[in-house]
Amino acid sequence: MPGDAPEPRRFMPTGPLTGRIRVPGDKSISHRALMLGAMAIGETRIAGLLEGEDVLATATALRQMGARIARDGSDWIVAGMGTGGLLQPGGALEMGNSGTSARLLMGLLASQAVTAVFTGDASLSRRPMARVIAPLAQMGARFEASPGGTLPLLMAGIEPAVPVTYRLPVASAQVKSAVLLAGLNTPGITTVIEPTPTRDHTERMLEGFGASLEIGEDSGARVIRIVGQPELRPRSIEVPGDPSSAAFFLVAASIVPGSDLVIENVGVNPARTGLVTVLRQMGADITELAPREAGSEPVADLHVRHASLFGIEVDPALAPAMIDEFPALFVAAACARGRTVTRGLEELRVKESDRLAVMAAALAAVGARVDERADGLAIDGTNGDPLLGTSEAGGPVASHLDHRIAMSLAIAGLASRNGVEVDDTRPIATSFPGFEALLARATER
C-alpha cells in the first residue's frame, strides 16, 4: 500500500453524475490472464489489464517464479514457461491484500515441484485459507499454515499431483479456480462439482488458451472436468471493465438526482451482474447498450439514470453473482424508500473485512437505520432524502483496510448532507486506481 500513514478524505455531496466514463479492467480476469499467460508457451498480449495492487501482486509473484511480464505501451506481455514450468521462488510470495492472488496461485503451484511461502497484509492474514488447503492437500500438496489455517503459510507442491473429484462446500470461484489450476498440471482428469454456480472466468479463459475442459450438469450441480498437462497456446486478451468497479457508479448515479451516465465497456457476464438485476428490481433505470463479446466475455455499455429506489427482499440466490457488490448495494438501500432485507450473506464476513459488521457500523455512523443480523442486513432507507453524513466532531468512518468499503462510503458521501469522511483511502488502489479522479470527472459541471 502506498505510504505508511492513513489517508483520510471527506467525500462531499455533489451534483449529478453525467457523461461517459470507463472503469479499469476486471480484477478477476486480469489475475487469470497473467496466470494462464505464464502457463502458455510463447507470448500472451493483454489489453486493459487492471494495474491495481492486487493484480500487480500476482505479476510480481509470477516473475519471482520465472515468468517474464512487462508493459508494452498500454498492453502487457507475458512470456510463459509452459504448463508446470514455474521455478522455485527465491523469497516469500507477498500477496498484499489479495485473496485471489493467494488462493489461485496456491492452486497453480500445488501440482508443481516448488515450495513457497505466502504472506499478506493484516486483512489477508485473517482470511480463511483452509478452503483451498483442503482440496489441494487431497491432490498431494503439503501445507504448514498459521493458526486457523491462515497466512503466513508454507506450501510444498507435488509433481505429479493426484487428480481428484472435489465438491465445493462453499460457493467460491476462488476455490473452484484453485482446483482447476492445480488440475492443469495434474495427469488425468480433475473434476470440480459446483452446486451453486459462481463466476466462470477461469473456465472461459482456460478454453481460450486451448485447455481441454468439459462442462456438464449432474443433479442440478455444475460439473467441470479438466484434462491435465495440455500445451496452452498464447493468445491476445482484451480485459473488459470491471462490473465490481462499475457498481459504485451505478449506485451513485441511481441515488444522486439528475444523474445520467454511461459506463463504457463493462463486463456483463451473467455470473457478475446480480447488482444490476437487484437495482432494477428496486426501480433503477439501467440499460445495456451495444452488447458484444470481448476476450471470451460478454461486454456492454451501461446507461444509468437517477431513479427513485424502493426497498426489496434481495433473493439470496443472486448473492454469488454480486458477492463483491453488497457494500455498494447497502448504500443504495440506505437511500431507498422502505426496507431492504438481505440474507444468506455469511461469506461477506470473511472478505477483505467483515463486510456485514463494517457496513452496519459505517452506515449507522452516517445516519442510516441498519439492523445487523447473522447472515445479512436489514436497512430502512431515507426515502430519497440525503443521509446525514459525518460531522467534524464525530470523526471519520472506519473502512478496515477494505477497498470496497472505502468506495461505498465515498458514494454515501455524494448522497449526504454533510459529506462523509473516510478514514483511509489508500486501499482503493488495490482494485480501482484513479477512482477519486473518475468520480470527480463524472460529477464536474
Give the interface with ligand S3P as residue ranges (CB under 6 A).
28, 100, 172-174, 177, 199, 323-324, 347
Please, what is the minimum distance in Å from the beta carbon of residue 299 to ligand S3P? 17
Q: Are 7 and 424 in contact (CB under 8 A)?
A: yes
Pairing of strands 18-22, 260-267: parallel
Q: Which is nearer to ligand S3P, 194 or 324 (CB)?
A: 324
d(CA 86, CA 34): 13
Of 199 and 225, which CB lies nearer to ligand S3P in the complex structure?
199
**Least separation, in Å, of the C-beta of 377 and ligand S3P?**
17
Q: How many residues in total does the chain contain?
A: 445
Beta-bridge partners for 263: 21, 302
In whole angstroms, give the CA distance from residue 257 to residue 161.
57
Q: Which is nearer to ligand S3P, 112 or 174 (CB)?
A: 174
| Residue among 124 and 420 whose Cβ is closer to ligand S3P | 124
Of 54, 324, 402, 423, catalytic:
324
Our answer to whether residue 324 is catalytic in this structure is yes
Return the number of the residue (221 or 388) whose C-beta is nearest ligand S3P: 221
d(CA 72, CA 68): 12
C-alpha 418, offset from chain centre: 30
Q: How far apart are CA 347 and CA 370, in angstroms?
A: 19
Q: Which amino acid type is present at position 243?
A: P
The minimum distance between CB 339 and ligand S3P, in angstroms, equals: 26
Residue 373, strand partner residues: 376
Residue 243: partners with Cβ closer than 8 Å, 6 or more residues away: 26, 266, 267, 268, 269, 272, 273, 275, 276, 325
**Helix, coil or strand: residue 292:** strand
Cell of 333: 438501500
Could you tell me the smallest distance in angstroms from the CB atom of residue 15 to ligand S3P? 31
Q: In whole angstroms, how far apart are CA 60 and each of 83, 127, 288? A: 19, 21, 36
- Contact between 255 and 16 (Cβ < 8 Å): no
**H/E element holding 363?**
helix 355-365
CB of 173 to ligand S3P, least distance (A): 4
Q: Nearer to ligand S3P by C-beta: 247 or 323?
A: 323
What are the catalytic residues? 324
